[in-house]
Chains A and B, each alone.
Chain A
Amino acid sequence: MRYWKAILSLVALLALGSALAPGAEAQAPKGEYKIGVLEPLTGPLAGEGKRHLEGYEIMRDIINERGGVMGKKLVFTVADAPNPTAAASEANRLITQEGVKIITGTFSSTLCGAASEAAARHNVIYWETSCVDPKFTRRGLKNVFRTEIDGTGFGWYMIEFAAKHLAPKLNMKPNQFRVVFLSEDSSYGQGVTESARDRAKREFGMQELAAEYYNFRTINDFTPTIVKFKQLNPDIVFAISYNNDAILYWRQAKEQNFVPKAQVSAGATGYGSPDFGKAFGKDADGPFALLEPAPGFKVEALRPEGQAIERAFRDAVQKRTGSHPVGGHQLAAGGLWILKLALDRAKTDELNKLRDAAMSLDLPVGSSVNGWGVKFAESGQNANERVQHYMLQWQNGELLTVWPEEFTVKRPKWIPLPPWDQRK
């Protein structure tokens, strides 16, 4: 009888041991944990909003295959936020009627401010994975986190690429660059462009010839601006845009035969959107867009844990969409994975405890989806230098990762950009 008891105890211990072993997180989650996902699913930003939502859903399924969050299956309640008013009212609804304690979203800088303030009134966590407006994390709100770089980071990277990569290729010094800035005028465009202008001038002494802002909802013609740019003859055009305006500008630049030495942009919209490639085919070739990794990306350059989750994510996107992940997918997925890490560490969604857990995350570059690392500042902003970004270039109608060299097997082409009729 004693032997039976000893054997039973041993089996029980083994069972407990296996439950605590590293593989335990792969166990099926018990119960559900619901968060709110707020995205522009109708209106002018719906294209990116839907891509973002798709990224969330793909990553949610991966998370659930890996044990969910806090041991529970992660589920979404999704709300549509086509404009700031709807973002605020839907955030209120998610909190008061759906009872969520965490809201994530919203893709756009025009929406994240309104949505997060509504969440702040209810002490609910607002976990932004995409909008880059620098003001977002500078309002002293304790409930706000952002996993993506802010606009100053985008601006920093654009200038870094021009000064460190384009200048030597063009046999120029950065202070010889004559540059123009063309940007849509929402907080996204202004945030990125102002920080880029500041760094270009202050740190590298680039000569700014013009800085033009426009409303992306009402722009119908870029010709006068392009005529002006042609006369100024800049080396580089730094352009921040949404989709419709990028397509219009590029078409009219071709009509006016305007060719700077390089065109550099940032973000998953405009020149970084698949819509740009669809609109132009091979004519899309040439411009650079700062983004998440695209084909050419060297997954092996990441840390082992980063490689594992990046591969799982890429496979899942390929399976669901039949193609590579694109910006919106990755921003949402990268941010949601970091939320899972924070929730698992906090084991609660109570604001202060989750905040402490998020602050204690300290992962170097290469640890997570997109090669991101994590180190939140007191403001709730992930450190720009941990949020690794990559320069992509349209080549043969496809966006490819071309910089930094250590993360890619592809190389930038067409420096300087050849005339329109000589691109091969």
Chain B
Amino acid sequence: MRASHVAAFAQLVVSTILLGGIYALIAVGLTLIFGIMRVVNFAHGEYLMLGMYLAFWAFTLWQLDPYVVLFVAAPLFFLVGLMSYFLVMRGVITASHNVQIFTTVGLSIALQNLAQVLWTADFRIARPWHASVVVPFGGAAFNLSQFVAFAVAGALTLGLFVFMKWSHAGRVMRATAQDREAATLMGIDTDRVYRLTWAIGIACVGVAGVLMSPLYSVYPTAGLQFVLLAYVVVVLGGLGDMVGALLGSLIVAAVEVVGSYFLGIAWKEVLYFVLFILVLVFRPAGLLGQRGAETLGA
């Protein structure tokens, strides 16, 4: 094997892992909301976009590094999540899926256009020092900001996994996801569970936006680029499964990177959507999801 082939192979592996990290970062919040609340949040990408704008403006106006902004972003987006739950989601949480879909699509369009009115449609990019630091790694190279995004994605996934598995709140959330009526009869305040789930999900995606701001252009429809892909990841990994989200992200990234290299970049969506369909046909609950462990069609 020639040295250039080894370097190329190393680069593809590194790219897969780091790109998978980006996708996981977006998907964990989505899988939480999707898994617990059974709400298809089409506005997920717009919260991501708001996170990117927060980091961009903090950097542009006050020279604040996105990694500093991160500490503000998590509680801030938790509050934004609570607010949007009370204003929008609470009214439709028991409505049919169609109503929920229309509501989140409406929210998505409203947020996109609000961003456009407030900040125009210009493409912006925050350039903190680490955005241009390239780290050589065994013949491959990667961007430092992308590595940090991957590391945080891993930590976030692990943290949520532990929270869901062993904390009381996590158990309550899982119980609500499995059977809302039974949970209510057991004295669980399901409204509170949904409120908390939505707010944590939005906080996660807000953090994702901040971490992605040095890597991708910030513009009002920036979220659209990622949200469909995040759904593929979530379904692939299993609804509500944090580790599944990470696994799904790595699989989608691998399919994308390897497909782009060997077949051409035009093939990447064909490949991962074929994979998506195959998983739906042969394992509808996802790779790690447990069939029957949730309320279906509630």
Contacts and interface: CB of A to CB of B under 8 A. Distances in A.
A244 B11 CA distance: 23
B15 A185 contact: no
A225 B265 contact: yes
Q: Is the interface of B mostly helix, strand, loop or mixed?
A: helix
Given A220-B229, A231-B4, A46 B220 contact: yes
Contact of B266 (A49, A214, A223): A214
A243 B265 contact: no
Interface in B202-228: 215-217, 219-222, 224-226, 228
Given A46-B121, A224-B12, A255-B141, A212 B265 contact: yes
Contacts of A231: 4-5, 8
Contacts of B102: none
Contact of A50 (B121, B143, B226): B121
Contact of A44 (B124, B141, B219, B256): B219
Contacts of B217: 243-244, 247-248, 275, 279
Nearest to B228: A218
A217 B224 contact: yes
B125 A247 contact: yes
B266 A185 contact: yes
Contact of A43 (B8, B221, B268): B221
A36 to B, nearest CB: 21
A47 B260 CA distance: 29
A212 B267 CA distance: 10
Contacts of A41: 121
Interface in A233-257: 243-244, 247-248, 251, 254-257
A251 B134 CA distance: 11
A223 B123 contact: no
A227 B121 contact: no
Nearest to A185: B266
A323 interface: no
A273 B220 CA distance: 17
Given A213-B265, A221-B256, A227-B11, A279 B123 contact: yes
Contacts of A251: 143, 215
Nearest to A244: B217
B221 A44 contact: yes
Interface centre among A46, A215, A257, by most chain B C-beta atoms within 10 angstroms, is: A46
21 contacts: A46-B121, A46-B220, A47-B120, A47-B123, A47-B219, A217-B224, A218-B229, A218-B269, A220-B216, A223-B257, A224-B261, A227-B8, A227-B12, A227-B261, A243-B217, A244-B123, A247-B123, A254-B134, A256-B11, A278-B124, A279-B125
Interface of A: 41-44, 46-47, 49-50, 185, 212-215, 217-225, 227-228, 230-231, 243-244, 247-248, 251, 254-257, 273, 275, 278-279, 283
